[in-house]
Structure 1
């Protein structure tokens, strides 16, 4: 009756069990979990990228240009200055002022270079700050997604392990039944040899043995399938040996009340709302200016005219202030507000659904415990009945058909006991998943 006292039940073990060790192995080796861990690393890199936008950008730029022909412009310097130079020569009675020709210059430069180191840095840009917050929240979201998969993986591993132990137990039940059937056949053969048995009993024994052998073959197949699936979850070789040093009775007896945790699904929805609220703030700040500064340090001249005067510096500020964009920014704000309202409704609905699922899972644990208790009594009664019938058959009090029926009852009661026993643990694993109580 001790199980009836365990409401809000869930199996928890004081010491780390073999099943907990398998869970820890799966956390390290499961392929899907490894893929999700990669997504976390990518989100971390994206955050570092967002943080780097605060830092200045430095780049080396260089250019060389040279050409001839094309458009040109004429400068009539000769026509303008030659009359003046002639007058000056006449006044000074010298040739100090020679005549000069008009100049025609092409637009293309000849052997012109420009090399510089350009440094740019954002001085005021709220988008960078909001983008950093979004990347931080996205990283937290990815980590929560990993925890969500871990919790689901725990349930799958426990259920698969329990199914493996169950299938292994069923094989043993059928093997024990086969041994009893073979022993029954020997008894019939002795009775027939002594003139007390019937040939029909031997035929019935052979039929019973063949039926049990077929059941053993099916149970072995189910056991192999359970073994393959369990090892698949752990990303191990499918035929790898599975430890069975797990105390089922102690696990059931160790069921006691726990405090449900916070489901990762709800945390994911909350974090998603936080991201959308940050996006809303960023969209609402569209009217704020963006200010950048830049500094260029370089040198420019023609290749045949390089000197100390070729070096230069050039700095400045750039400001961008939006004025009109056809109300597109306002539409984005409204759209984000609607997305937030929808996400909050989804969070409220999911909270109610998960609470209901937790309540149902809790009730399933309680009912599975009651069913297990009933199966225990049925199994004990069937075992006692079989002993009495077999004793009576050997003494000639019971018929062979009663013996076969007693063996079938005993086998079915043992099978039902095995099923109900592991149903308690499987239901507890499901409740553990719904209550989000397994320590990750």
Structure 2
């Protein structure tokens, strides 16, 4: 009766989980919140947002304060005969006034290099019409969209990896349960065989064979526990939460998944759409080659020698107008147009590829569900066969080889069903990823 209790306990465990709806959101959110790669991409998104703000700020003025103080000696100069011009006049005035009120003046040499000269200014520059500023702003905005889609794509991949890791861990746990169940069955078989041997109804070889099966099952149980530990380590790594225990990681799963009918839009296709838009911006930039660029500059300050103050103001309008560049901008435009067409073809190829992946994933899920549904009758039949053989074995009607074969078939049926069940769930997670069904915020 002990093996029946284990069997019904396993059925009760599976039925209990089947009435709960699967919800991986808690595990997925943990992985999103703790993943360093995702955090790095969020910082890159902030970087792109700052670049957009920088592009917008280019429409505003820039104000700078500058100055230059100059000391000079030597260099080129010009002779100015001020003495030759004024001294005859001063001499006549001195004679008329009978005084020396007008002393003689020496000729001067004026240097081209300013000495002890200070130029201080406040400069304001304002772009008036720069077409490339609008292009740059749109380009930086597209980079934000591209980075946001990259984050969503990584989140989607991470969600699939977390689901798959959890399902593989659960599958390994169930395998441990099955081998422990087999260990209990073999223990009961060994007790029964030993009793038969002591009563002279079984040979020593029967006891040895049962004990050999126990050792073999023990080795398989050790391997199953190792696989369970490795699967748990992978899941814990993806969740990346310090101190998390197995009891804190639970997801209610129905017996088998349902077919996914709602399809979303893959981020890879959206990224290609944004890439096409960015290439169109490159085309637009070259089409604006002949448009003028206009800016205004205002200088207000002082220029004088010996640190004197002589204020001035200067207004300037800067105009730049492209006329001819030997068709360089035309060739750049052709390159951008070719890049647009290449991106469109790439998008078409990726779209067809994703549709193929979706069709294959749906077929795989349907086949996995159908395959898993075939195991329940096999498990029931194997359990019934084992119970009957065990009864006959206790009465000496069946031999130990029949008992071992029945126990082996039951263990294989249990393991095969667990593998088929979780394989169906793994195919479900793959289909969720391929069809972009899981909601990504």
- TM-score, with normalisation over the residues of structure 1? 0.91
Deviation at 1:383, TM superposition (A): 1.3
Partner of 1:392: 392
Partner of 1:411: 411
Partner of 1:9: none
Partner of 2:305: 302
**Cα distance in structure 2, aligned partners of 1:14 and 1:402:** 37
Report the 3-state secondary structure (helix = DSSP H, G, I; strand = E; otherwise coil) of the residue aligned with 2:24.
helix
**Cα distance in structure 2, aligned partners of 1:54 and 1:14:** 61
Deviations 1:237-267 (A, max 9, x none): 48743545433335x36x2543201111100
Pick one of 15, 26, 37 that aligns with 1:21.
Answer: 26
Deviations 1:151-192 (A, max 9, x none): 111111100000000000001101110111111111111111
Change (3 A) 1:273 1:347: same
Deviation at 1:376, TM superposition (A): 2.0
Extract unaligned runs of 5+ from structure 2: 1-17
**Cα distance in structure 2, aligned partners of 1:167 and 1:16:** 21
Residue 140 of structure 2 corresponds to residue 135 of structure 1: yes
**Cα distance in structure 2, aligned partners of 1:257 and 1:146:** 24
**Cα distance in structure 2, aligned partners of 1:430 and 1:176:** 31
Change (3 A) 1:238 1:340: farther
Partner of 2:275: 272
RMSD between aligned alpha carbons?
2.1
Deviation at 1:236, TM superposition (A): 2.6
Alignment of 1:310-329 (within 5 A): 310-329=310-329
Alignment of 1:91-106 (within 5 A): 97-106=102-111
- TM-score, with normalisation over the residues of structure 2? 0.91
Say whether the 8 Å CA contact 2:259–2:366 is kept in structure 1.
Answer: no
**Cα distance in structure 2, aligned partners of 1:74 and 1:16:** 101
**Cα distance in structure 2, aligned partners of 1:14 and 1:268:** 39
Report the 3-state secondary structure (helix = DSSP H, G, I; strand = E; otherwise coil) of the residue aligned with 1:143.
helix
Residue 39 of structure 2 corresponds to residue 34 of structure 1: yes
Partner of 1:216: 221
Q: How many residues in Structure 1 have an aligned counterpart in Structure 2?
A: 423
Deviation at 1:93, TM superposition (A): 6.8
Alignment of 1:90-239 (within 5 A): 97-237=102-242
Deviation at 1:198, TM superposition (A): 0.8
Change (3 A) 1:233 1:33: same
Deviation at 1:235, TM superposition (A): 1.7
Say whether the 8 Å CA contact 1:165–1:244 is kept in structure 2.
Answer: no
Deviations 1:42-101 (A, max 9, x none): 110111111110110011112211122233321112223333444565677765654321
Report the 3-state secondary structure (helix = DSSP H, G, I; strand = E; otherwise coil) of the residue aligned with 2:128.
strand
Say whether the 8 Å CA contact 2:260–2:431 is kept in structure 1.
Answer: no
